[in-house]
Chain A
């Protein structure tokens, strides 16, 4: 089922507006919400997209916005990373098909519509890509303009490089059949970024 339209109206913050524009170009969607509304808005989007189960990053932001409760109110099953699911179920071969991975990007690149996901104990490498849908919860102050700025922060001197970093710019796609872009090749079919401001 297609996710409901969410407003992508410009908010007057140049980096936020640029990110929204780039996300649209990358075939992802974005919306801007206030901290108090973030949990409800994210849950609403998932309900509209037909999500049956959400797998949440183990991140303090997820708790702060009360996402788990908001999802349960929408009748969505909630798991938190690490899920302890077996291999087949965590790969979507068993259990519900409409799973949504909820990530908390360390940064986002406004120019390219890219979210930067850093692997950690609470944030699995496969969180977004094994699921059918991907929702990223992004505090607006984590947005930078260029990829160069984002990578300079991720790999700053004196900071241990994360074991894995994923730059995600829109839903999975393949152009391998007749060179025409088709969504949902291996990773998520939809990507929605909730910008918290």
Chain B
């Protein structure tokens, strides 16, 4: 994969992705290692998730979760105003950014103004969306991803392939090779424990150097102005407590009203995401360190990003804003399980990525307009979603909205076809012609390379020349 580049137009999809969606999909399908790694991951996820459904009533929690998130989105402007006022009251700074470029400008400006050379980050989809790493690097600032999976990808110069488990497509040998290269020595163990211990020490060095810690936000709680950062490794706590400045980057839809709502969502999230009844660490941060406290950041900045989200309120896609980024729809999706996240070319992959990437980018963006077609519409995603987003319906609506020369041409073709088939005369003529053509092109009862509209069919399967077909 080439080096990561920033998009000038503030789009969400990666600019460095190569080839068309179809080409990337075919490449991924041919990659056997990838298939094996994805299989291992999806199977283990499925097992632990089933345990949550049976033992913890995850399914029963969905209705309440859905209600909470829908009401949050309905009341978004008021909740954001309350959140903002409470963060300020606690001594923090709040910045509302209309798009990614504005957010990046603010954060790089802050780093420059404070003379910061190293920024330590914990995993955050929002910063991946706004391409913050690239912006900071362009400004000459070193960025270190400290989540183990994200760090591995940073070393591999790759994008994350999953919301929760970013490096899920790499195996242990691949990771060991990357660590050896980074450390410049062969003295890196290749068992899992050894690799984790190695990374722990290398990254502590970075924590000790970093002037700014950047985290994402899983939930903002409006009633107290608190940001919740959920994690398992402990790096987000280090990011939010060790550097002198903490910058939290939050998508504007991530706010809930109060602690009653937060408690529900904070329980649903790890169950759906990793099949566990709790995350190891949930960091709840209300402003910077207070007087008398001897650790914690001296400055706290909350950057709230719109990036096209606000415009989705009140549309047929509003429910996509309920998403809590748990990743369950990815693992449940037969497409994602076959090709992984990289093929999507966007930080948001899987069913939710196929819906929101084109929504945030606009319907004719060449980078993402085909994504809604990356689905068999089997509905597994909607069933997996812990906040009850009808993803399969949103995918259908997103397809209708997608606009490319190909979708426009196929729209015209289907309209013409329907006109032909609605009249008995033209229908019969069509069928007679079709039979002739099948007979001419077919061999041993099967046609394998049809021209015109039939080409799409015979590219992946044969068509019988007679019914019932010959075995």
Contacts and interface: CB of A to CB of B under 8 A. Distances in A.
Nearest to A124: B295
B234 interface: yes
Interface in B284-317: 284-290, 292-296
Interface in A143-197: 146-148, 151-152, 154-155, 161-180, 182-188
A139 interface: no
A176 B149 contact: yes
A93 interface: yes
Contact of A166 (B232, B264, B266, B282): B282
Tell me the interface secondary structure of chain A in the complex: loop
Interface in B196-234: 196-197, 199-201, 203-205, 207-208, 221, 223-226, 232-234
Interface centre among A121, A148, A180 (most CB of B within 10 A): A148
A114 interface: yes
Interface size for chain B: under 10, 10 to 19, 20 to 34, or 35 or more residues? 35 or more
B90 A187 contact: no
B146 interface: yes
A14 interface: no
B192 interface: yes
Contacts of A130: 238
B280 A170 contact: yes
B237 A163 contact: no
A77 to B, nearest CB: 19
Interface in A105-162: 111-114, 119-121, 124-126, 129-130, 146-148, 151-152, 154-155, 161-162
A187 B233 contact: yes
Contacts of B37: 178
A7 B286 CA distance: 38
B45 A187 contact: no
A173 B270 CA distance: 14
A45 interface: no
A91 B192 CA distance: 23
B259 interface: yes
B286 A164 contact: yes
Given A152-B260, A172-B233, A93 B289 contact: no
A151 B278 contact: no
Contacts of B192: 177-178, 180, 182
Given A93-B205, A172-B232, A125 B284 contact: no
A185 B200 contact: yes
Contact of B193 (A113, A170, A182): A182
Contact of B238 (A112, A119, A146, A186): A186
Contact of B197 (A113, A165, A178, A184): A184
B462 to A, nearest CB: 38
Contacts, number: 196
A21 to B, nearest CB: 12
Interface in A43-90: 81-82, 87-88
A177 B192 CA distance: 7
B457 to A, nearest CB: 37
A147 B228 CA distance: 14
Interface stretch (B98-106, B161-169, B370-378, B382-390): B161-169
B64 to A, nearest CB: 12
B90 A161 contact: yes
A113 B233 contact: no
B281 to A, nearest CB: 6
Nearest to B242: A126
Nearest to A179: B41
Contact of B171 (A124, A171, A178): A178
Given A93-B205, A147-B267, A148-B263, A174 B292 contact: no
Contacts of A96: none
B281 A176 contact: no
A152 B166 contact: no
Interface string B159-181: 00000011110011001000000
Contacts of A171: 280
A177 B278 contact: no
Nearest to B234: A187
B241 interface: yes
B200 A186 contact: yes
B214 to A, nearest CB: 16
Contacts of B295: 82, 124-126
Given A161-B225, A185-B232, A186-B238, 13 more contacts: A82-B294, A93-B201, A126-B241, A129-B281, A148-B260, A152-B263, A155-B259, A163-B293, A169-B278, A173-B280, A176-B167, A178-B41, A186-B234
21 contacts: A120-B292, A121-B294, A124-B295, A125-B240, A129-B237, A147-B278, A161-B226, A163-B290, A163-B293, A166-B237, A167-B284, A170-B280, A174-B149, A174-B196, A175-B165, A176-B166, A180-B44, A182-B192, A185-B199, A186-B203, A186-B233
In order of increasing CB-CB distance, the 9 nearest A-B pairs are: A187-B234, A176-B149, A82-B294, A185-B233, A186-B234, A121-B292, A125-B241, A148-B263, A167-B282
